Amino acid sequence: MSRRTPPKGIKPQKATPARGGLTDLFLVVLTVFGVMTRTPVGGVTLWAYDLARGVETERPSLIATFTAGPSARVLAELEAIFVQPEAMAGALSSAQGAPGEGFPEPYRTAARIALAKGDGPADEALRAELAALPAEERALAALDRLYKGDVEEALEVYAVGAEPRSRAIRRARQVGTDDPSRYAAHRAFLPDAQARAARAAVDGTMGLAKALTLTWPIAAPHRISSRFGYRIHPVLKTRKLHNGVDLSAPIGTPVLAAQAGEVEKAAQDPLNGKFIIVNHGHGVRSSYCHLDALHVQKGDAVTAGQVIADSGNTGRSTGPHLHFTLRVGRDAVDPERFRPGG
């Protein structure tokens, strides 16, 4: 068989002339997608876009957008919080006990969760003494020994030992600090590594205990119209956090403080409408958005269950509802996980 040779001077035709253009388009789309979902510029752009449309959204952490999405760290922390969700149910009914009765609720349940992945008590003699116990019982057994009527003291001694705590108290007293034996008064005098350990044990446990005993912010019967969590954006396919729950309630429904604390902000903006942020201490904050009337102002002390506002439909809201956010540490957590009886 003879091969046909193309006539001289004529180049062979390309089989698919459109392929180059499609590849370029694909690369452009891929690049834009990468910039939008994996860089701070994209994260802020998407956030601004949501803000403009009135979609409730978290301002992205600039560091978090560099990684493969903000979810991993948040989920790991949530997992740490909910090591034993079933254990919470019955454990929280008992009131704070006397020193002789061991480390009291609700701190007991909180410590079981917050200290589950830790190294055990700092004191070596105590650690050796408890070594025979199953790992999950060691923290509470240690706290039972260390508890002398002050929950924070027991947690701090658990984390750093008695001697470093005493040194920090002495230094705080030397500079004239008021009531230096309080953790908050002398924590700044602990060496860095011990300050971190104390913070994880004390703030972790105390904060979680506050969350575990919160009051639901609406007492009247109501429907949850939107739950907490990540959703996939229908077009961009990126994950967006709805950082709270939406409780459907008629305008004027009393809104209750979820826990005792101090009003950190009582203000108004175009997105959240009239809103209140309450600081409950130990890294726990709650916020209440789209309110109709505010009954407290910045700096006010509030008790758990106190009426702080009337719910409303202010700001970018699609109907009368309360948007309720709960933060433990830096991150918003699902308030429904802490709903009494829920």
Binding marks (x or -) toward Zn ion, 153..172, rule CB under 5 A? --------------------
Nearer to Zn ion, 213 or 272 (CB): 272
Report the nearest approach of Zn ion to the CB of residue 272 (Å).
Answer: 10
Binding marks (x or -) toward Zn ion, 239..258, rule CB under 5 A? -------x------------
Range 264-323, binding Zn ion (CB under 5 A): 323
Q: Among 6-14, 48-56, 87-95, 303-311, which window interacts with Zn ion (CB under 5 A)?
A: 48-56
Cis preceding linkage at 12, omega within 30: no
Nearer to Zn ion, 108 or 323 (CB): 323
Dihedral angle computed from the Cα positions of residues 29, 31, 36 and 38, in that order, rounded to the nearest 10 degrees: 140
Report the nearest approach of Zn ion to the CB of residue 52 (Å).
Answer: 17
Q: Among 56-64, 177-185, 232-240, 310-318, which window interacts with Zn ion (CB under 5 A)?
A: 56-64
Nearer to Zn ion, 57 or 194 (CB): 57
CA 51 to chain centre: 21
Residue sitting closest to Zn ion (CB): 323
- Cα–Cα distance for residue pair 44/276, rounded to 1 Å: 24
331 binds Zn ion (CB under 5 A): no
Q: Among 6-14, 34-42, 238-246, 306-314, which window interacts with Zn ion (CB under 5 A)?
A: 238-246
Burial of 44 (0-12, 13-18, 19+ CB in 10 A): middle
User: Which residue in 37, 46, 56, 215 binds Zn ion (CB under 5 A)?
Assistant: 56
Report the nearest approach of Zn ion to the CB of residue 226 (Å).
Answer: 5
Amino acid letter, residue 119: D
Burial of 14 (0-12, 13-18, 19+ CB in 10 A): exposed
CB 313 within 8 A of CB 325: no
DSSP E strand stretches across the chain: 223-226, 229-232, 239-242, 245-248, 254-256, 261-269, 273-281, 284-294, 301-302, 307-311, 321-328, 331-333
Q: Provide the 10 A C-beta neighbour count for residue 51.
A: 15
Residues that bind Zn ion (CB under 5 A): 56, 246, 323
